[in-house]
Amino acid sequence: MKQHAFTYDDIQLVPAFSKVISRKNISLFTKVSKNYFLCTPFVASCMDTVCENKMAIKMAEAGGVGCIHRFLSIENQCNEVAMVVDHIQQKELQKKWLTLSNDWKENHVIPVMAAVGVNGDFAERAIALVNAGANIILIDVAHGHHELVKKAIKKLKSILPKHVDIIAGNIASAQAAKDLEAWGADGLRVGVGGGSLCTTRLKTGFGVPNVTCLEEINAVTTLPVMADGGIRTSGDIAKALALGSQTVMLGSLIAGTKESPGQIIEKNNGLFKRYRGAASLETKTVHGQEQRNVEGESTVIPFKGGVKFVLQGLQDGVRSALSYGGANNLKEFKPDYLIVTNAGLTEATPHLL
C-alpha cells in the first residue's frame, strides 16, 4: 500500500540546459496508437458536447485527432466520420501535415478516430465506422480493466481489418496496462475520475491521482498512452507528456468553442455553451439511458470562439515547455520533477491578483 500519490498541481518540472534556438522549430510529432501518428499530441474527447465532425476536422487541421462520440445512432455516427474523412482526403490537408512536422512522411496515414462501447451493437457499430473511414476505434468505458473490455478487444480484433488500431480504457493501474496490452490493445487511455465534470472519485472512492497513475503505467507498457482527465492548462499537458504519455485527451479545454456540438446560449448578457460529463444525468436523459449510476455533472461554460486559437495557445505552451526542458521533440522531453508544497503551488500562480 502506497502512502502518497500525486497529481499535476503537486509537481513542477525542473528546467534543463537547452540548445533550442526557436520554439517554432520544436516538433510535437507523436504516436497516438501502435500504428498511427500525430503532428500534435492532442485528442478531442469523445463526449457529446465536445467532438463531432466540425471539431474533428479542426483537430486534424492542427495536426491532432478528434474522437467522434458514440451517443449517436450508428448511421449518424458514421455520417460524422464520413465528413471527417472527406475533409482529410483533400490534398491540401495531406500537404499541410508534411509541413507541421519533419517527422511526418508521405506514407503515413492521417488517423480518423471513433468511439464504441462494449455492449449491444458495439461490434456492428465498429464495422460500420471502419467502412465509413475510421482507422482507430476507441473502446470508451469508465472502467477499462474489465472482462467485457477483454472480450470486446478480442471480438474487434477478429472482425476488423488489420489496419485498424484499438485504443482501450479508461484504466488507472499498472496491472490494467499489462492486461490490456496482453489482450491486444494498440493504445491505452489512462485516467479514472479526474475529469472536470467527473464525480467518480466522490461517488465511489476509486481513482488514482494522475501523476502517479501515468508514471506507474508508462513504466510497464510499450503502448502509446493517452492521458485523460485533470488537464486544465498547457502546463498540465507538458507534465503528462514529461511523464511518458504520447498524447492527452482534451475535454473542458476545447468545450464551449464554435466547433463543439450544441447551440450557443445567451444568458446574463454573455454567450455560453453546454458541457456535460459522459456519465452525467443530463447525458443519460438526453440519450434515453437508464438514469442510474450517475458519475458526472453538467454545466454551461463561456463561449470561447474558434477552437483553432485555443489549440494554438496550447501548442505554444507545450513548445515553450519543451524549450525549458532542453528538448527539440517529445522523445527528448524527459525532465526531472519536484514535489511541491501548497506554498509552492501558490508561488507558481499569479499571486498578486
**What is the distance between the alpha carbons of residues 4 and 324, in angstroms, rounded to a whole number?**
28
Determine, yes or no, domain membership for 116. Answer: yes
Asked if pLDDT for residue 71 goes beyond 90, the answer is yes
- The CATH number of whichever domain residue 108 belongs to comes to 3.20.20.70
Query: For the chain, how many structural domains are there in total?
Result: 1
Query: What pairing do the DSSP bridges indicate for beta strands 113-116 and 136-140?
Result: parallel
| Sequence-separated (6 or more) residues with CB below 8 Å from residue 313 | 234
DSSP character string of 18-70: -----GGG----EEEETTEEESS-EEE---TTT-SHHHHHHHHHTT-EEEE-S
Determine, yes or no, domain membership for 127. Answer: yes
HSE-up of residue 213 (Cα within 13 Å, Cβ side): 26
Asked if pLDDT for residue 26 goes beyond 80, the answer is yes
Give 249's DSSP letter.
E
- Local confidence band at 31 (pLDDT 50, 70, 90 cut-offs): very high
Q: Which of 39, 46, 198, 213 is catalytic?
A: 198
Give 214's DSSP letter.
H
> Which pTM does this prediction carry?
0.92
Range of the domain at 110: 8-341
Determine, yes or no, domain membership for 200. Answer: yes
Cell numbers for 101, please give them. Answer: 512536422
Determine, yes or no, domain membership for 347. Answer: no
**Taking a C-beta distance cutoff of 8 angstroms, is the pair 49, 69 a contact?**
no
Determine, yes or no, domain membership for 235. Answer: yes
* Predicted confidence (pLDDT) per residue in 278-327, tens digit: 555 555 466 455 555 545 566 788 899 999 999 999 999 999 999 999 99
pLDDT at 309: 97
Question: Helices 307-324 and 53-61: crossing angle, nearest 10°?
Answer: 40
Residue 78 annotated to the active site: no
Asked if pLDDT for residue 192 goes beyond 60, the answer is yes
Determine, yes or no, domain membership for 108. Answer: yes
HSE-up of residue 294 (Cα within 13 Å, Cβ side): 14
* Residue 328: alpha-carbon gap to chain centroid: 23
pLDDT at 284: 46
DSSP character string of 114-167: EEE-SSTTHHHHHHHHHHHT--EEEEE-S--SSHHHHHHHHHHHHHS-TT-EEE
pLDDT at 109: 94
**What is the distance between the alpha carbons of residues 149 and 321, in angstroms, rounded to a whole number?**
36
